[in-house]
Chain A
Amino acid sequence: MDRFLYLTFDGLSRGAVYAAFALALVLIWRAARIVNFAQGAMAVATAYAGYSVTNATGSYWLGFIVAIVGGLVLGALVERVVMRFVDHSSPLNGVVVALGLVLIIQGVLGMIYGNEFRPAPAPFSRDAFQFGGVALLSRYDLFVFAAVGAVVVLLTLLFTRTPTGLRMRAAAFAPDVSRLLGVPVSGMLTLGWALAAAVGSLAGMLVVPTELGLHPNAMDLLFISAFTAAVLGGLDSPVGAVVGGLVVGLLLTYVSGYLGATVAPMAVLILLVVVLLGRPDGLFSRAKARTA
C-alpha cells in the first residue's frame, strides 16, 4: 500500500509537468488548428535563455521571466516569419515545417551551448514531505501544481470571458467568416502562437529541473508524453490536457514501478493507440462534427 501511495504521488508530480506541456499544445491547437511539433524545441531554446540569465544574475525569477517573455517573442516570431507563409491546405505542411524548426533550433543550440547537460536548479526544495514514512510531494511539486492550475484558470478565463479569447477561437475555427466579421485574424494567430509558446516555455522551465538537465534534445521524449496527454484530453480542452497529463504521469510511474522501467515507453504508445482508435476526439470532446 505504501508503495502504491508512493508511486501515485510520484506519478502525479510527473504528470503535472506533462500537463503543463500538454496545455501549450492545446493552446496552439485552439488558436491555429495545428499541432506544433516544434513546441519542445522552442521551450528548450527559451529555457536556455532563461538559465543563461539566471547564471549571469543569480536570480532564478529573473531568468524565469526572461524565459516566459522569450517564449512570447519566439512564438510571435515563428508565426510571423515562418508559419504565416506555409501553405496550410494540407495539415502535413505545418507539421513538416515544425520538424524543420526542431532541427534548426537543436542544431543552433548545440552550436552555441555545446551538447552538454547543463544543470538547472529548482527554485524550491525538491525534498518531499514525508507522511507516515511515505514520501509525498515536495515544495517544488506544489509549485508546479500551482503554476499549472494558474495557467488553466487564466486560459479558461481568456477563452470564455474575454472578447480576445472568443476572437482567437473564431479566427481559428473559421478564418474567412471571422475576417468578414472584422476579426483581425492574422493578429489573433500571432497572439495565439505567442501565448502558446509562452506556456510552452513555462512548461520547459518546470520540466528541466526534474530531469537530467538542460540539453538541446531535452524535450524530445517529453513531447511524446505531452502529445499523448493532449490527445487524451481531446487536444481542445485545457482541463482535458491537465487530466490527460496526470493520467500519463500515473501510467508511466505505475508501469515503471510494477512492471519495470523498460516497459514504460511502450505503455504510453499503447495508451495513445487505444485512445486514438477508441475515442479519437479524446475523453473530453464535446463537438463531434469537426473532424472532417
Chain B
Amino acid sequence: MTTIEAPEKVTTNHPKTKRLSPLLYVVPAAILILALTYTLPPFRNYQLATVGAYLCVTAGLTILTGLNGQLSLGHGALMATGAYTLALMQNRFNVLALGILAAVLVTTVAGGVIGLAAARLRGPYLAGLTLAVAVVVPSIASTFDETFNSDQGLTVALEPPPDAVTVEQWQAWVCWAGALVTVLVLAYLARGRFGRDMKAVRDDETAAKLAGIGVARTQVLAFVVSAACAGLAGALFAVLAQSVSPGAFPLTLSLFLVMAVVIGGLGRLSGALIGAVLLVALPEIAHSIAEDAGSQRLEGNLALTFFGVVLVAVMLAAPGGLASLRWKRNKQKGRT
C-alpha cells in the first residue's frame, strides 16, 4: 500500500503503527478500564459503559464507511434489532450471554439482507435506502405490537450483579468486554486480506474487480460485519437501559453515529473511540452550558448545533476526521 503512495507520505510513521499488534493496545486498555471502574463514581461508570456500547457500533461503522466506502444511515435500526432480540431473549430465558449472542446473530442476518441490497447501490441511493430503514422502526414496533409492545416498548429482565460490584461497574465491564472484543476482531480483520479487499473496492471498483476481488461479496461482508457490531451495541444498550423502545432509536441516533464516525476519523479505530466519547460527552457539555446560561431553548439544541458545526468544519478542514489531524500536520511539515 505504501509503495504506490506519493513520496512525501512515506515519510510519516504510518507503516510503523500498522505493524503494532492490536493485542498491544487492547490488553492495556482492558486493564485500564478495569482500574477505572474501581476509581470512578457510579455515574461516570455508567457513562464509561455507554462509551463502550457506542464504541461497538462506531467501530463497525468505521469499517463499513471508512474502509469500504459505504454510508449507512440505518445503523440505529440495526441497533434496535439487537436490542429487541436481547429483550425478548432475556424475558424468556434470562441468560445474558445467550441473549447477546442471539442479538448479534439476528442482527447479522438482518444486516445480510440489507447488505445484499446495499451492495447494488451507490452513494446517495444507499444513503436514502438506509435512511428509510432508520425511520421504519416505530412502524414495525406498532404493527407487531403483541411482540414489541408498540411505542411503550419492552422492559429487560436482568439478574442483579453480585453484591461486591455496583450495577454501573458491572455494566461497564459487560459493555467494555463487548467493545474490546469488537475492536480486536475488527483490527485483525482490517489488517488482513479482508481489509485490503475492502480498501481496494472503496478506492476503485473496476481495478478491484480486475485484481480478482469479489466486489459485491466484499461489500455485503463489510455490511454484515458492521451490522453484527451494531447488533452487539444494541444489545448492550438494552442492558444499560434495562428497557427497549422505538423512541430510543430515533433517526437522530443514526445521524449521530455517522457524525461520530466522520468526526472521529473515517477508517481509523481510534477515530471510532473519539466518536464514541464525543457522543457521550458533547450532550453533557451542552447541558451544562445551557444550564449556566439559564435558557431552556439552548438545551439539546445547543448539542445539535454543536455536532453540526463540528461535523461541517471537520469535513471541510480535515476530511479524514480528528484522528487524521496529526498525520495531516506532519504531511504539511514535510511539504513546506
Specify which chain A residues have a CB less than 8 angstroms from the CB of B297 in the assembled complex.
Answer: 110-112, 114-115
Q: Which residue of B lies closest to A90 (CB)?
A: B69
Contacts of A264 in B (CB 8 A): 139
Binds A, one of B9-17, B35-43, B218-226, B251-259: B251-259
> Which residues from 49 to 98 on chain A have a C-beta closer than 8 Å to any C-beta of chain B?
82, 85-87, 90-93, 95-97
Query: Which listed residue, A34, A112, A115, touches B124 by the CB 8 Å rule?
Result: A34
Chain B residues 280 to 321 lying within 8 A of chain A, measured CB to CB, are: 296-298, 300-309, 311-312, 315-316, 319
Is there an interface contact between B304 and A280, defined as CB atoms closer than 8 Å? Answer: no
Q: Say yes or no: is B214 at the interface (Cβ < 8 Å to chain A).
A: no
Does B71 touch A at the CB level, under 8 Å? Answer: yes
Cα of A277 to Cα of B114 in the assembled complex, Å: 11
Could you tell me how many residues of chain B have their Cβ less than 8 Å away from some Cβ of chain A?
47
| Partner-A contacts on B (CB < 8 A) | 65, 69, 71, 73, 117, 120-125, 127-129, 131-133, 135-136, 138-140, 142-143, 251, 255, 258-259, 262, 296-298, 300-309, 311-312, 315-316, 319
Contact of B128 among A108, A111, A272 (CB under 8 A): A272
Q: How far is the CB of B74 from chain A (nearest CB, A)?
A: 10
User: Which residues does A use to contact B, with CB under 8 Å?
Assistant: 34-35, 37, 82, 85-87, 90-93, 95-97, 99-108, 110-112, 114-115, 220-221, 223-224, 227-228, 231, 260, 262-266, 268-269, 272-273, 276-277, 280, 291
A272 and B315 within 8 A (CB): no
Bound: A280/B124 CA distance, A: 12
A92–B135 touching, CB < 8 Å: no
Residues from chain A with Cβ under 8 Å of B136 in the complex = 265-266, 269
A37 touching B127, Cβ below 8 Å? yes
Q: Nearest residue in A to B137 (C-beta to C-beta)?
A: A265
Summed over the interface, the residue pairs from A and B with CB atoms below 8 Å come to a total of 143
Majority secondary structure of chain A interface residues (helix, strand, loop or mixed):
helix
When the two chains form their complex, are residues B139 and A263 in contact, meaning their CB atoms are under 8 A apart?
yes
Q: A92-B71, A263-B139 are in contact. Are A224 and B258 (CB under 8 A)?
A: no
Q: Which of B73, B308, B319 contacts A100 (CB 8 A)?
A: B308
* Residues of chain A with a CB closer than 8 A to B262's CB: 96
List the A residue with the shortest CB-CB distance to B261. Answer: A96
Additional pairs, 5, CB under 8 Å, beyond known A91-B122, A262-B139, A280-B120: A107-B302, A111-B297, A220-B135, A260-B143, A280-B121
Enumerate chain A residues within 8 angstroms of B120, measured Cβ to Cβ.
276-277, 280
A227 partner, pick from B128, B259, B304, B308, beta carbons under 8 A: B128
Instruction: Determine if A224 and B315 form an interchain contact, defined as CB atoms under 8 angstroms apart.
Output: no
What is the distance, in angstroms, from B251's C-beta to the closest C-beta of chain A? 6
A95–B312 CB distance below 8 A: no
- From B124, B132, B308, contact of A107 by CB (8 A): B308
Provide the residues of chain A in CB contact with B129, threshold 8 Å.
272-273, 276
Contact partners of A93 in chain B: CB under 8 A:
315, 319
